[in-house]
Structure 1
Amino acid sequence: MICFFCFQNKNREYPMLKYVSCLAFVLFMASPACAQEVSFSQGMNGFGENVLVQLVEKAGPRDNVLVSPYSMSSALSLAALGARGTTREEMEKVLELPDGWNAAHQNLAKALKADEGVTLSMANGIWGAQDTKFRRMFRRQAERSFGAKIESVDFADPETLPMINGWVSKETRGMIPDLIDQLDPDLVAVLVNALYFKGDWKDAFDVKGTSDEDFHFADGGVQKISMMHRRDDFAYAAEEGWQAVALPYIGDAFELVVVLPAEGKLPLESLGAALKTGFDKRKGYLGLPKLDLSSGVELAKVLEDMGMKQAFLPVADFSAMCDRAAFISRVIHKVAMKMDEKGTEAAAATAVMMMKTAFMVEDPPFRMVVDRPYGIALRHRTSGAILFMGVVANPA
């Protein structure tokens, strides 16, 4: 699943989605075939829904709430790679990460392939302070499982901020030009995910059918908005309290699920139920608003309230990431979306800011006494060519 979106507005009665005056929607792809990918996707979706619930509860009656479970999960999972102990346990629980989630994330990223008519790109970047030494295992897993680019920077250099934001802007095709507002010189690392989607509807709306219609807000206000219209056979579902359509993009790998609650109900109440329901072909008339939206939120408090507490404290254990004692100081999440008669363009980016604490983390001294059969190899360090190798069973 890529993106959740929710309008906090009041709707009126409707015949077959004639006018969508209040909606929630989800942009997602068909479930991956691999059980491991399915498990990871379900956890990611559950985490995204939980974040959405927290944000909607705090939102005003005219506030849009837009999140990307994939982007949030990717950036925070990248940080979880470097966590140990209680810090890692809390992160894995809140993120709903299954066993083997590292490989599952890698497989899911491979499964999310774009078809003709759809552009999809995902990128991860890690910028570390010049005096930060990343652990070899963390670096290997970040590069292999997340495809992360790792770069050393000076966070006190005024050129570093526009450089990171420029990377995000490039990866999101300019839809998120300024993800981060400032960089603290005491940062250990910044972990970023960027996601971009652009897809054409399988069945486009006729531009001539678009007209100005009333949109009814939850607080009773009314405003004219640009409404697209289409009469067609739709993938449709309805139960008491809501109705929904699924609009496929070219290639059929992705679709947009639009959920319209009944009078007096909020979109979030219907969204979860609709996503668990099957859709059937049915003739109908759909009125859908054109969109050009953006949303930004600080997630630290939300994640703490969900149970990810130690990661945001100076006692956090990210010793599997680098040689600096660090904790998460900020999690920034931004989403932008445009929707018109031709299709949808959307982007998301998430930044996890790692701040250093007062002391260095040194590897504990090891103890190795070769007092049992062992192996040896004499090799050339540059080429790796082995000149001699063997097993010593009796050194006497």
Structure 2
Amino acid sequence: MSRSRPVAALAALAGLALGALAACGGSPAAAAQELRGTASFAPQPLDAEAARAVIVASERMGREMLVSADPGENAVVSPASLTLAFAMLAPGASGPGVSELTELLGTDPATAAVVAGGLLDHFSTWDGDVADFDPTTLPDEPFLHIANRAVVREGFEAEADYLDALAENFNAGLALADFADAAGAKELLDEWVDHHTAGLIPESAIEPTPDLVLVLQNAVLFGAQWESQFEQHLTYERDFTPVDGAAFRVPMMSNPHAAARY
């Protein structure tokens, strides 16, 4: 797999996975309309071996994304978000898309979707109402909110099985957008991102164009206090070396009682 494969593959796989969406005529739906299946969020128990395979593949994608990033720029990658986005394609995958997704997700698409649902169910233990999350104050208890959504161009009709799979495994729906109306579609994407990140990320990185067909949205909002707190008197001036090799002194926290794994 080439370094740029995860980035390029998402666009390609979106086309390969559109078997669950069919073009239709008639009047376009309202831009804010969201379709949901009749199924409720009902994840299946996690299979340890399948979950391990998906997690290993997710970590690999994250590493490859970082390696392919511009070495002169800071980069942040969310492997879990990438995995969930690819897994949302799984219920509609067909043809070459099946083998492509299997390679990226570490297991067959159907199993990956089930694993995604199990992981989301596990993490929901720390979920809560985003409206109650204050981004300026660390919560007393850990808070972890993960949201997913697919957005498709108006004129496509989703199959009921695909909508049910999104609801059952991802607690997600399918929004309709007029991507030809770039400003309106951008507002639709931005509002979702802003809401599910409590305003910490006010807008989507996607810039809609008329030829855009599908957008997969994922948001992760996390807030927690350190289990072992850093003490101010243990902050020291130390060398920090950026990519250009020119080290300079910065205040660095330290905690002799905790070991952090990166």
Name the TM-score, length of structure 2 as normaliser: 0.69
* Secondary structure of 1:191 counterpart: strand
* Residue 171 of structure 2 corresponds to residue 160 of structure 1: no
Q: Is the 8 A contact 1:46 1:96 kept in 2?
A: yes
Give the equivalent residue in structure 1 for 2:81: 71
Give the equivalent residue in structure 2 for 1:51: 61
Q: CA separation in 2, counterparts of 1:187 and 1:153?
A: 10
* Secondary structure of 1:133 counterpart: strand
Deviations 1:81-130 (A, max 9, x none): 21102212211222213563322221211111229621100111122222
Residue type of the alignment partner of 1:163: L
Relative to structure 1, is the Cα distance of residues 57 and 111 closer, same or farther in structure 2, using a 3 angstrom cutoff? closer
Identity of aligned residues (%): 25
* Structure whose alpha-carbon radius of gyration is higher: 1
Relative to structure 1, is the Cα distance of residues 59 and 134 closer, same or farther in structure 2, using a 3 angstrom cutoff? closer
In terms of fraction of residues, the more helix-rich structure is: 2
Q: CA separation in 2, counterparts of 1:51 and 1:100?
A: 18
Deviations 1:294-353 (A, max 9, x none): xxxxxxxxxxxxxxxxxxxxxxxxxxxxxxxxxxxxxxxxxxxxxxxxxxxxxxxxxxxx
Relative to structure 1, is the Cα distance of residues 128 and 220 closer, same or farther in structure 2, using a 3 angstrom cutoff? closer
- Name whichever of 216-225 and 150-159 sits farther off: 216-225
Relative to structure 1, is the Cα distance of residues 100 and 181 closer, same or farther in structure 2, using a 3 angstrom cutoff? closer
Give the equivalent residue in structure 2 for 1:201: 226
* Secondary structure of 1:126 counterpart: strand
* Residue 239 of structure 2 corresponds to residue 214 of structure 1: yes
* Residue 251 of structure 2 corresponds to residue 226 of structure 1: yes
Give the equivalent residue in structure 2 for 1:175: 200
Q: CA separation in 1, counterparts of 2:195 and 2:46?
A: 33
Q: CA RMSD in A?
A: 2.4
Q: CA separation in 2, counterparts of 1:109 and 1:192?
A: 15
Deviations 1:144-177 (A, max 9, x none): 1111122222112222202211211221222322
Question: Cα offset for 1:62?
Answer: 5.1
Give the equivalent residue in structure 2 for 1:188: 213
Give the count of matched residue pairs.
203
* Residue 120 of structure 2 corresponds to residue 109 of structure 1: yes
- Note the 1:17-56 alignment, pairs <5 A: 36=47, 38-56=48-66
Residue type of the alignment partner of 2:148: N
- Note the 1:83-94 alignment, pairs <5 A: 83-94=93-104
Relative to structure 1, is the Cα distance of residues 175 and 224 closer, same or farther in structure 2, using a 3 angstrom cutoff? farther
Q: Which runs of 5+ in 1 are unaligned?
A: 1-33, 235-244, 247-256, 259-396
Relative to structure 1, is the Cα distance of residues 138 and 35 closer, same or farther in structure 2, using a 3 angstrom cutoff? closer
Q: CA separation in 2, counterparts of 1:44 and 1:117?
A: 28
Question: Cα offset for 1:71?
Answer: 0.8
Give the equivalent residue in structure 1 for 2:154: 130
Relative to structure 1, is the Cα distance of residues 61 and 183 closer, same or farther in structure 2, using a 3 angstrom cutoff? closer
Give the equivalent residue in structure 2 for 1:151: 175
Q: CA separation in 1, counterparts of 2:71 and 2:184?
A: 39
Q: Is the 8 A contact 1:80 1:92 kept in 2?
A: no
Residue type of the alignment partner of 1:114: W
- Note the 1:1-396 alignment, pairs <5 A: 36=47, 38-59=48-69, 63-97=73-107, 100-112=111-123, 113-114=125-126, 117-157=141-181, 158-217=183-242, 219-232=244-257, 234=258, 245-246=259-260, 257-258=261-262
Q: Which runs of 5+ in 2 are unaligned?
A: 1-44, 128-139
Question: Cα offset for 1:60?
Answer: 5.3
Q: Is the 8 A contact 1:62 1:217 kept in 2?
A: no
Q: CA separation in 2, counterparts of 1:60 and 1:182?
A: 21
Q: CA separation in 2, counterparts of 1:61 and 1:224?
A: 22
